[in-house]
Chain A
Amino acid sequence: MTGAMARAGAWLTAPALALLGVFFFLPVAGSLGLSFTDFDIYALGNPELLRFVGLDNYLQLLRSPRFWIALRNTLVFCAVAGPLSVAVSLAAALLLHSPRLRLKGFFRTAFFLPVVTTLVAVAATWRYLYHPRHGLLDHALGLLGIAPIDWLGDPRWALPAIILLAVWKNFGFNMVIFLAGLQSIPGSLYEAARIDGAGWWRQLRHVTLPMLRPTLLFVALITAIGYLQLFAEPYVMTGGGPSDATLSIVLLMYEEGFRWWNLGYAAAIAVVLFAIILATTLLPLGLLRRRP
């Protein structure tokens, strides 16, 4: 019987493992290999032209101003949009968690709706909303007496504009995870806090937030990892401009790899992205281990 079970285990996992092996693990390893070569459009036609160049791609990357711009933009985007969208999600979840709220399901669905929409479609929509003459946003600012801002045309405002879109698009996702976290906090803790005379604010600080710590860490982590992969928003709204103000790491990788066919160079960018994401993942895990 155990023999039959072991055989069944092998057969049932075989399709998934074969597919993952060929179409995921092999290419991931290939990326590392590719990043040590000068694979370009000529090698695409004739693989014999391929040369091993060691760390040249990485050295070239370090010397390239556009790489540093893309890295800075991606990190700024991640560092601003990340905390902002976690804060908005948490605020929305706390409001939705109030026991006296009616129509909770309706509010939750409405806030979640942007999450399921097609990013390309809503990025196109927001591009019109940001239009300095006809856009809804500048019109609203005009009512407040604020002069129109050329959101996507001004290098200072283009990245903030993309951050705003990202927060709008994503906060519902984290909100739902926070709601589940809030529901798992035992009501007896709040009762004890109330008996001790704690008001709303102190209950939040001393019961809710400490109990949400694991959820908060998880949400912060997946949000940061997702935001490090910024691509479609700048691709659709700005093409990385104006003057590279919204160029991201993945957009740079896409341009180098699939527009100019510098696949070796682009693979080095992919490896750097991986290293950054790996560091981002390991950092909070280390923090968690030190403070149990």
Chain B
Amino acid sequence: MSRSRAAVWALHGTLAVAVILTLLPLWWMLVASLSPAGAVDAEPLRLIPRALTAEHYEALLTRLPLARSLANSALVAGCVTVLSVLVNSMAGYAFAKLRFAGRDAILRVLLGALVVPSQVAMLPLFLLLKQMHLINGYGGVIVPAAASIFGIYLMRQYALSIPDSLLDAARIDGASELRIYRSVVLPLCRPILVTMAIFTFLGTWNDFLWPLIVLSDEDVQTLPVALANLFGEHVQDTELVMAGSVLAVLPVVVAFLCLQRHYIEGLTLGSVKG
């Protein structure tokens, strides 16, 4: 009895220590961002702050163009999310439930292409977008991300569970196929649509390499790109850079904490069942 109680204590103790170690870097980021300039370098370890200031946030949002980057990130992530949920859900539903010529062959090609890393497409894609005058604009990030094979696959897996009888009943009532998609399929698939939306929003918000390639003008840069530049120019201003990092991390962390049930469900749907 006492031995197993000790085991339970050891379990909780181990996990508590692990949680502290896991969250420590994020806590340090937050504390540093709220400390007066130079405080981190003067006295290294100060996990409970003595004096707090918002001056770095003020500087970032007024003097430096980070407010603009924040807006750019929100705009780009918002557009990609709305567009890709629409495009992928239409295709995913069709692959699951509609019989059309070449369906299975196309699906096989798409799933096979899941192993192709996105970096392989980047060099020609850059040249292509340059031809289309989409470089250095939001379009260069939004348009190529509007369809994703993984999103189509997630939607298809979910839509497979819609009973055919439900769709046939709507057809017998005279509903058009587009109407069935809008009024029957979309409401039934709400959970997976929410999951896809969170995945896409967080993924786009955090994305770095492609925005770094496409968005070279400060006016259109998303937060991670602007942050990397800030880091390059102000590497000595630890507190300022940490404030920028908090601005990037906070929105996604809050979004995740509010919607984590959908996120984690989707993650296991996409992996274990697939």
Which residues from B are CB-within-8-Å of A263? 123, 127
CB < 8 Å A-B pair total: 284
CB B214 to nearest CB in A, in angstroms, measures: 10
Query: What total of chain B residues lie within 8 Å of the partner, measured CB to CB?
Result: 90
Please state if B271 and A180 are interface contacts (CB–CB under 8 Å). yes
Please state if A139 and B115 are interface contacts (CB–CB under 8 Å). no
Alpha-carbon gap, A177 to B171, bound state (A): 39
Which residues from B are CB-within-8-Å of A180? 268, 271-272
A146 CB within 8 Å of chain B: no
Q: Which residues B224-269 have CB closer than 8 A to chain A?
A: 224-225, 227-228, 231, 238, 241-242, 244-246, 248-249, 252-253, 256-257, 260, 263-264, 267-268
B223 CB within 8 Å of chain A: yes
B98 CB within 8 Å of chain A: yes
- Identify which of A107-115, A187-195, A203-211 touches chain B: A107-115
Alpha-carbon gap, A109 to B238, bound state (A): 28
- Smallest CB-CB separation from A135: which chain B residue? B44
CB B112 to nearest CB in A, in angstroms, measures: 10
Which residues from B are CB-within-8-Å of A9? 94, 98-100, 103
A155 CB within 8 Å of chain B: no
CB B15 to nearest CB in A, in angstroms, measures: 5
A positions within 8 Å CB-CB of B: 1-2, 4-13, 15-17, 19-20, 22-28, 30-31, 33-34, 92, 95-96, 98, 100-102, 107-114, 116-122, 124-129, 133-136, 139, 168, 173, 176-177, 180-181, 184, 215, 218, 222, 225, 228-229, 231-232, 235-236, 250, 253-254, 257-258, 263, 266-267, 270-271, 273-274, 277-278, 281
B positions within 8 Å CB-CB of A: 8, 11-12, 14-15, 18-19, 22-26, 28-29, 32, 40-41, 44-45, 87-88, 90-91, 93-95, 98-101, 103, 106, 110, 113, 115-117, 119-128, 143-144, 146-147, 149, 152, 171, 176-178, 181, 202, 205-206, 208-209, 212-213, 223-225, 227-228, 231, 238, 241-242, 244-246, 248-249, 252-253, 256-257, 260, 263-264, 267-268, 271-272
